[in-house]
Chain A
Amino acid sequence: MSTETKPSERVTVETTLNGTEVEQTVPAGTLLSAFLRNHEYLTGTHRGCETAKCGACTVLVDGDPVKSCNMLAAQVDGATVTTVEGLADGEDLHPVQQAFWDCHGSQCGYCTPGFVTNVVALLEDNPDPSVEEIRSHLTGNICRCTGYTKIIESVQEAAARMDGDGK
């Protein structure tokens, strides 16, 4: 996007989204979560609270987990965005997704995309986290179904399978 030296009502967003270059001109007030769902039709990113409290909308921006309901789409211009749709390799689920599947880390699934993306970032930084570290990393993600135990087990299982090599 060219820089706007005058405040403008529409912005052009150019971003690498799940490995693909995309470019769209949208109203400046478009939230990143709305951009992903309503403009890119990537509905894996869920909208829960839309007040930055539940983490269901978590995506990776330049590798860092952020709440996409708490950012403007304009802010990812020039950045790399990864949503839950960008994790699998074709038909093969990402090891974190597979571990959530195998360990029942997901029940209704509403919170799952946010947890999975956040966990992918955790394991990249810390391939062998303690239960304490997992819990603390996931404070921004709320799940009303699982009671968290199965989620923690899924993270530990994913960490063991990925064996510290991030894949």
Chain B
Amino acid sequence: MLIPVAPQWETDVQGLKYANPETVEEACTLLRDHGEDAAILSGGQSLLPMLRQRVGSYDKVIDINGLPDLEYVRETDGEIRIGCLSRHVDVASSSVVEEHCPILADVAAEIGDVQVRNRGTFCGAVAHADPSGDPPVVATLLDATIVARNADEKRTLSGSSFYHGFYETDLSKDELVTEVRFPVLSAGEGAGFEKYEPTEGAYPVATVGAYLSLADDGRIENATLVTGALEAGPTPMDDAAEVLEDREPTDDVLTEAAEQLGEDTMPVDDFEGSAAFKTNISKKLAKDALQTALDRAENER
């Protein structure tokens, strides 16, 4: 059969080496031996575009999709535990998430498009730390616990201090994230997430996550606000959150906090919008996210 075959350089990642370990131990050994020039392949929805564009210095991938027992979303000891092979679709459709921490489903259901959500993993997005990524915002907001392993040890990292700007986290090159845990939100707690994307399915230009807990008298006890995509990754907005503390959750108070967030955020002008536009958008997102958080806190979840 004489069929023209496209030259390799056109469609392939030249010279790539591939390994698919069968156990977590094997994966960690590979990361120890090749960590400097090896990338973890989980959902591949961020890695494949990078490999094709030759961003990054790796020539090896370690495919973790064959590792056993890492695909789950379950509630254990007051936490929602997400295994590193659970996809965005799994988080979006989980009944445990819906009941105990619906903000995670809000986030997962709006990532990219259905093809991306079928492959991309929630933990992979937390680890990858794309500055426009949505899971990092909620990992910071709810102070998720990130469980990481290397060949020698297992450790847990705190989501609220995990991110350090563009693609930078507390993880080292030889570590595999096996699980991310989120708190079960109980009575009087609520969280909301809003994003602005230029077209549906695209990466967001601005995101805001809001968390509130209410005291018995209905006043706001604790508040957290975190933006994403506006600066170099998840950015806690402490002054705006402080506006809320110990106040009645009236519409005016929520608006005041949202305005403060707009004052404090520092987006840059780029092709997706001017800084002024993004600032305006962030106020609206903050107000809506706070309203959802409040509604959920008042509805006891």
Chain A residues with CB under 8 Å of chain B are: 1, 3-9, 11, 27-31, 33-34, 37-38, 41, 47, 50-52, 55, 58, 64-67, 69-72, 74-75, 77, 118, 136-137, 139-141
Contacts and interface: CB of A to CB of B under 8 A. Distances in A.
Interface stretch (B43-51, B169-177, B230-238, B242-250): B43-51
B19 A7 contact: yes
Contacts of B8: 27
A11 B52 contact: no
30 contacts: A1-B20, A5-B19, A5-B21, A7-B18, A7-B62, A9-B16, A27-B8, A27-B14, A27-B16, A28-B17, A28-B18, A29-B51, A30-B11, A34-B6, A34-B10, A34-B11, A50-B52, A52-B48, A55-B115, A65-B114, A69-B48, A70-B44, A72-B16, A72-B18, A72-B61, A74-B18, A74-B20, A75-B41, A137-B114, A140-B115
A7 B114 contact: no
A99 B286 CA distance: 44
Q: Chain B binding site: helix, strand, loop or mixed by DSSP?
A: mixed
B151 to A, nearest CB: 14
Contacts of B18: 4, 7-9, 11, 28-29, 72, 74
Contacts of B32: none
Contact of B112 (A1, A37, A69, A140): A140
Contacts of B6: 34, 37-38
A162 B19 CA distance: 42
Given A74-B63, A136-B200, A139-B201, 13 more contacts: A3-B22, A3-B66, A4-B18, A4-B19, A5-B30, A7-B60, A9-B16, A27-B14, A38-B5, A66-B119, A69-B48, A70-B115, A72-B16
B48 A9 contact: no
B118 interface: yes
A29 B13 contact: yes
Interface string B1-38: 10101101011111111111110001000100010001
A4 B52 contact: no
B94 interface: no
Most chain A beta-carbon neighbours within 10 Å: one of B8, B60, B201: B201
A28 B16 contact: yes
Contacts of A140: 112-116, 201
B125 to A, nearest CB: 14
Interface of B: 1, 3, 5-6, 8, 10-22, 26, 30, 34, 38, 41, 44-45, 48-49, 51-53, 60-63, 65-66, 112-116, 118-119, 200-201
A11 B17 CA distance: 9
Contacts of B49: 51-52, 70
A71 B48 contact: yes
A136 B109 CA distance: 11
A1 B65 CA distance: 14
A66 B113 CA distance: 10
Contacts of B45: 52, 70
A-B pairs, top 10 by smallest CB distance, nearest first, are A140-B113, A29-B13, A29-B16, A7-B17, A34-B11, A28-B18, A139-B201, A7-B60, A7-B19, A64-B118
B268 to A, nearest CB: 23
Contacts of B14: 27, 29
Contacts of B3: 41
A72 B17 CA distance: 11
Contact of A31 (B13, B62, B66, B112): B13
A70 B63 CA distance: 14
A93 to B, nearest CB: 23
B115 A65 contact: yes
Interface centre among A7, A33, A51 (most CB of B within 10 A): A7
B20 A33 contact: no
Given A8-B18, A8-B19, A31-B13, A72 B41 contact: yes
Contacts of A64: 118
A137 B201 CA distance: 10
Given A70-B49, A72-B48, A75-B44, A9 B114 contact: no
A75 B15 contact: no
A139 to B, nearest CB: 4
Contacts of A4: 18-20
B116 A52 contact: yes
